[in-house]
Amino acid sequence: MRLRNKVAVITGGASGIGLATARVFAREGAKVAIGDIVDAAPSIKDITASGGEAFAQVIDVTRSGQIDSLISAAVDRWGGLDIMFNNAGVGLPKPITEVSEAEFDRIFAVNVKGVYLGCKAALPFLLRRRAGSIINMSSNGGLIGRPADPVYCATKHAVMGLTKSLALNYAHLNIRVNALCPGPINTPMLWAGATGEEQRRAKLSQVLASCPAARYASADEVAAAALFLASDESAFINGIGLAIDGAKAAGIMPLDRYRLDFAINM
């Protein structure tokens, strides 16, 4: 088991990538504490039913006291902290001209402040062990620009800046800080706003058109990457944004994958 007796805290663990990661971590021997804005206890029944150790707590990642409470509960129960996965996040697929100030404030509060608070709360416990892994949820939108969701991309670029800076600051203390940068993943966020079969097909066409691999990934594929960054197998990997996006962030796709029917004004 790659995480035997490790203690992990995961935010946004009630569904999607967070839940898939909780299951993988538990299967690999970790004790897992999950926080989410909704009750994640029903989601992790399979972990405890199979003999894994896990508990869930309802928290709002934008409130420092609530993240502190989740981490403290894990430390009180299991004696320390080894892994912090700041996974909670929200999307905002809108052009900037349609983003309200309230929406701007909310997405920065969840996607950036939530990561900052998670890192800040976890670090004192990792420093006690002089070891540990922090994994922050960014996006391939934290590595490249995306025209459909610029404010979301801004939050994920901020996560990358925080990740790299913390990695530099704590590397000599054997604490690693890395980020996951997924592309199209089959989670509720991917299908936001697509209510019927026709809308889902249209959304899927858009997703495949912009991904060189011409597919989306499962939450389990991202969880496998999280496991790698949490484990000692990645002991010399620090300060990176790991793209899990079918080469989407790598550059420009081959010409035959693009539309060529645009009107040209000369």
Mean pLDDT of the chain: 93
Single out the catalytic residue among 116, 152, 170, 216: 152
pLDDT of residue 261: 72
pLDDT of residue 189: 72
Judge whether 259 lies within some domain. no
Q: Give residues with Cβ within 8 angstroms of 105, minimum separation 6.
A: none
Question: What's the pLDDT tens digit per position in 110-167?
Answer: 999 999 999 999 999 999 999 999 999 999 999 999 998 999 999 999 999 999 999 9
Judge whether 66 lies within some domain. yes
pLDDT of residue 253: 84
pLDDT of residue 212: 86
* CATH number of the domain to which 45 belongs: 3.40.50.720
Could you write out the DSSP letters of every residue in 165-230? HHHHHHGGGTEEEEEEEE-SBSSTTTTTT--SHHHHHHHHHHHHHT-TT-S-B-HHHHHHHHHHHH
Judge whether 232 lies within some domain. yes
Judge whether 253 lies within some domain. no
Residue 87 has pLDDT above 70, yes or no: yes
Judge whether 229 lies within some domain. yes
Question: What's the pLDDT tens digit per position in 155-193?
Answer: 999 999 999 999 999 999 999 999 999 998 887 777 666
Other Cβ atoms within 10 Å of 51 Cβ, number: 7
Judge whether 60 lies within some domain. yes
Judge whether 65 lies within some domain. yes
- CA 158 to chain centroid, in Å, comes to 13
* Banded model confidence at residue 264, pLDDT cuts 50, 70, 90: low
User: Which pTM does this prediction carry?
Assistant: 0.93
Which residue range(s) make up the domain with 142? 7-187+218-247
Q: How many helices (H) and strands (E) does the chain have?
A: 8, 7
- Is pLDDT larger for residue 150 or for residue 259? 150
Question: What's the pLDDT tens digit per position in 35-66?
Answer: 999 999 999 999 999 999 999 999 999 999 99
Q: How many domains does the chain have?
A: 1
Annotation marks residue 152 as catalytic:
yes
pLDDT of residue 266: 61
pLDDT of residue 235: 97
Q: What is the mean pLDDT of residues 92-115?
A: 97
Judge whether 68 lies within some domain. yes
